Amino acid sequence: MKLGGRVGLLWDHNIPHGLIAVDSVIYAIGRYKPDSICCPKEEEGGIYHHDHTGTSFLDLADPSGRWKGIGGMLISNRPFPCCASLSDKIFVFGAKASKAHLNLGEFYDKKKNCWEAIPSPPLIRRDAFRHCRPVICDPEHNRILVHFSYISSLYAYYPEDGHRWVCLNDHMPPWDGEPAPYLLDNVLYLISYKDNCITAFDICTKEHLEVSWSSCSPFGPHELAQLTSPCMIYLDDNIMCVYPYAPSSFEYYRFQVCRVSNQQQGVLITPLSTHLFPFQGPRTPINTVAL
């Protein structure tokens, strides 16, 4: 796991903490049970995690290899929160708890060693704070993208610009962890079960892009549409990968994306290869870990 100089999101729908990696430090944010601190615990399906009372962190450069705690969260009971890191701060949004959803979120300032509330967007009711998982970090524009599912709207949050909120699209279909969206070169890619299976949204022009597929390919949109709870990650050189939730095998589809200019701005998808690796022995599903 290469983390040097990079900020990565570690997320797994079976782990009750928000996990965020900043350089060589991994933060586990939120809590599930308040009666134990950093105690390894085996959950159903063989998933291991650490219970804690707010925030724990593990410095991979620390030879002790011990988790350490950070307290003082405004709402410590935040199981399954969404996390992002930007400008030397860690941002925590929502949780799978009713009271936590009435509070949009909070952020941790590592320099000040304190937590502060994230100001709410204007014209959004408190009962509409429920958002899709995950939130998306956009470091190029120093902002975080948040999709509010109750109002089907995509917002950009600027923490270093007066905590400003800007609506990018007020009619965008929701996502929820799986299928996972991905931001690449100012284009937000989402897996859809309609039309071309993959949709593209330019976050700068605030417009949807036309998606087309190359004619000669090992697979097409129909194959992706048949996948169960597919996730999307970026590999390199504009190559992306989609893989489904599969208890008995590891299957993935590689394709390349390219911006094209014709009568209308669009994206060309060129499928590259598909791979299937059956599991031997006990069937354990592949869980999402993206860096």
- Tell me which of 55-69, 134-148, 233-247, 275-289 is least confident: 275-289
Reply yes or no on whether the pLDDT at 13 is more than 60.
Answer: no
Q: Are 121 and 162 in contact (CB under 8 A)?
A: no
116 and 12 share a domain? yes
Residue 161 located in a structural domain: no
Q: What pLDDT, on the 0 to 100 scale, is given for residue 9? A: 42
Query: Could you give the number of structural domains in the chain?
Result: 2
- For residue 258, the number of C-alpha atoms closer than 13 Å in the C-beta half-sphere is 11
Of the three residues 84, 108, 125, the one that is the final residue of a domain is 125
Reply yes or no on whether the pLDDT at 214 is more than 70.
Answer: yes
Residue 114 located in a structural domain: yes
| Radius of gyration (C-alpha) of the chain in whole angstroms | 19
How far apart CA 50 and CA 181 sit, in angstroms, is 27
Reply yes or no on whether the pLDDT at 208 is more than 80.
Answer: yes
pLDDT tens track for 160-195: 999 999 999 988 877 765 557 889 999 999 887 776
Residue 131 located in a structural domain: no
Q: What pLDDT, on the 0 to 100 scale, is given for residue 97? A: 52
Q: Are 175 and 181 in contact (CB under 8 A)?
A: yes
Of the three residues 74, 103, 125, the one that is the final residue of a domain is 125
Reply yes or no on whether the pLDDT at 281 is more than 80.
Answer: no
For 223, the enclosing helix (H) or strand (E) is helix 221-225
What burial letters (b/e) apply to 219-234, b meaning 16+ CB within 10 Å? bbbeebbebebbbbeb
116 and 217 share a domain? no
92 and 193 share a domain? no
Residue 96 located in a structural domain: yes
Of the three residues 103, 125, 147, the one that is the final residue of a domain is 125
Residue 137 located in a structural domain: no
Residue 146 located in a structural domain: no
Q: How confident is the model at residue 3 (pLDDT cuts 50, 70, 90)?
A: very low
> How many Cβ atoms are within 10 Å of 81's Cβ, its own excluded?
27
Q: What pLDDT, on the 0 to 100 scale, is given for residue 12? A: 41
Q: What pLDDT, on the 0 to 100 scale, is given for residue 95? A: 66
Range of the domain at 214: 186-291
Q: What pLDDT, on the 0 to 100 scale, is given for residue 42? A: 43
pLDDT tens track for 132-147: 778 899 999 999 999 8
Residue 153 located in a structural domain: no
Q: How confident is the model at residue 100 (pLDDT cuts 50, 70, 90)?
A: very low
The pTM of this model reads 0.77
Q: What pLDDT, on the 0 to 100 scale, is given for residue 288? A: 43
Chain centroid to Cα 214, Å, comes to: 28
Reply yes or no on whether the pLDDT at 287 is more than 60.
Answer: no
Q: How confident is the model at residue 291 (pLDDT cuts 50, 70, 90)?
A: very low
How far apart CA 180 and CA 288 sit, in angstroms, is 10
Residue 175 located in a structural domain: no
Reply yes or no on whether the pLDDT at 1 is more than 90.
Answer: no
Reply yes or no on whether the pLDDT at 262 is more than 90.
Answer: no
Q: In the chain, what percentage of residues exceed pLDDT 90?
A: 27
